[in-house]
């Protein structure tokens, strides 16, 4: 029988991943939503995506990632409902 | 809020010119934005799509962006410039979508009371923009072939995040 | 040959734009002069008559010059820039006569394949122009009073000749 | 009786001095022509002008001088018929 403390975060995290430019092109889509067990980090989400999505392995193991419009580190914990943006090396200007 | 940002001089009314634009860059308009009685020097940088690339004649470049973050990151860059050059007035645009060879993809304008700071601030903004703005480009060749182009990344920058 | 000079990129037809001008500076025209397929970066500096000077509100500045030498000296500066940045294309104008506050007195445009050289070349030209061009200015205040203004001279520059 | 070698330069130099901006204003004229004995230098011409011309002493003893559109040193010899331009400190841009 499962006991769950209501103060604790959900056991399962729902994370949306957005892909841009070349990354979107290689996997043929601009976004995915993944469920994964709590706790998880940015790099866990990336690893899951690389394993699950066709051609996901063409995306680097440590891409630039932004959450809430800011760059984040690979070891940052992710929270339920967050959106991760995977950014290819930039090429503005 | 895609492509609809304020920015530029903190002294300008919001929304006068948007940073991201799908139309040709309007440099005279940007220069009007920064004009003021206090301004003695205005420095401008304009980046243009070059026709002659390494792999053949380029017809144009298709620019795409993470637009919300583009606005946010450019806002940060302008804030940084404004704190280093408190009397500075800044305006900029980045064009998105297909930009034909010979046309401008980015313009940065920095106006200050004296000339040295104008050139330094302009350079600061363009260098940071090149490193940080979430913009990507795909070269389109005359024969229709395309190729993603990435700016050279220094290791130190890659590890910054 | 007063005020009728060639200059600018050595690749431009002579006489297209004169360096010294008594009309408002035509920046779009200068930028057209340097446009080319090879150009990826264009840097601009515009110097403007400031309204707020140390001694009261400035209505304008009266610029005068030794015009033959102005053309010759500016030609030398452009030659120097062309030898340092062989792929560079350069254009500039200096306005003479009375320039009202808020209007441009000088504009320098430097276009190169890549952005760093454009900004460096533009800065080289404006800094040398400020030090070397035989141009003088008299500030005209709102009340009609006038005062000659000289650029601060470093001792090393004064001893150069 | 005077003997003069035709290969030698004229005994007297005729030198035109042009004044600009503030210098022209203080002496009230934009040019003068001086005769002075050969040999002479740029600084001899400046000294003569400062002595002869009303308010000439308001022009510095060692102003910037150009001949043939180029800056020259104060000890440069001057030649008959040359034009010296006396330039106030510049203020372009």
Mean pLDDT of chain C: 85
Lowest mean pLDDT across A64-78, B67-81, C56-70, D3-17: D3-17
Question: Is chain C adjacent to chain B, meaning 3+ CB pairs within 8 angstroms?
Answer: yes
Average pLDDT rounded to a whole number, residues A60-72: 95
The Cα D28–Cα D18 span in angstroms is: 12
Mean pLDDT of chain B: 85
Mind listing the pLDDT tens digit for each residue in D17-71?
999 999 999 999 999 999 999 999 999 999 999 999 999 999 999 999 999 999 9
For residue C129, pLDDT over 70 is answered with yes
What's residue D5's pLDDT?
57
What's residue B5's pLDDT?
30
What's residue B71's pLDDT?
87
What's residue B99's pLDDT?
97
Q: Which chains touch B (3 or more CB pairs under 8 A)?
A: A, C
Residues of C in contact with D85 (CB under 8 A): 66, 69, 134
Number of Cβ pairs closer than 8 Å across B and C?
90
Give the ipTM: 0.85
B5/C105: higher pLDDT: C105
What's residue C160's pLDDT?
45
Share of chain B above pLDDT 70, in %: 81
For A93, the closest of B47, B72, B150 (CB atoms) is B47
What's residue B156's pLDDT?
46
What's residue D11's pLDDT?
86
Residue A89 in contact with partner chain B when CB distance is under 8 A: yes
Name the residue among B83, B32, B11, B115 with its Cα closest to residue C44.
B115
Average pLDDT rounded to a whole number, residues C109-123: 97
């Amino acid at each position: 029988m499962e006991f769950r403390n209501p103060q604790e975060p959900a056991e399962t995290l729902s994370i949306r991943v957005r892909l841009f430019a070349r990354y979107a092109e290689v996997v043929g889509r601009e976004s995915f939503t993944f469920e994964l067990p709590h706790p998880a980090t940015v790099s866990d989400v990336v690893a899951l995506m690389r394993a699950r999505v066709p051609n996901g392995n063409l995306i680097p193991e440590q891409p630039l990632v932004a959450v809430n419009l800011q760059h984040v580190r690979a070891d940052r914990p992710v929270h339920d409902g967050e959106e991760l943006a995977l950014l290819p090396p930039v090429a503005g200007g | 809020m895609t492509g609809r940002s304020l920015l530029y001089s903190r002294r300008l009314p919001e929304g006068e010119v948007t940073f991201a634009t799908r139309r040709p860059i309007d440099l005279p308009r940007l220069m009007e934005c920064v004009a003021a009685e206090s301004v003695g020097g205005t420095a401008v940088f304009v980046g243009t799509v070059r026709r002659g690339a390494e792999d053949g004649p380029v017809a144009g470049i298709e620019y795409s962006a993470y637009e919300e973050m583009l606005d946010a990151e450019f806002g940060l860059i302008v804030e940084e410039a404004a704190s280093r050059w408190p009397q500075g007035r800044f305006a900029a645009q980045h064009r998105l979508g297909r930009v034909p060879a010979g046309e401008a993809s980015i313009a940065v304008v920095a106006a200050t009371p004296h000339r040295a700071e104008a050139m330094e601030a302009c350079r600061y903004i363009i260098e940071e923009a090149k490193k940080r703005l979430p913009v990507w480009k795909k070269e389109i060749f005359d024969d229709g072939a395309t190729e993603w182009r990435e700016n050279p990344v220094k290791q130190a920058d890659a590890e910054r995040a």
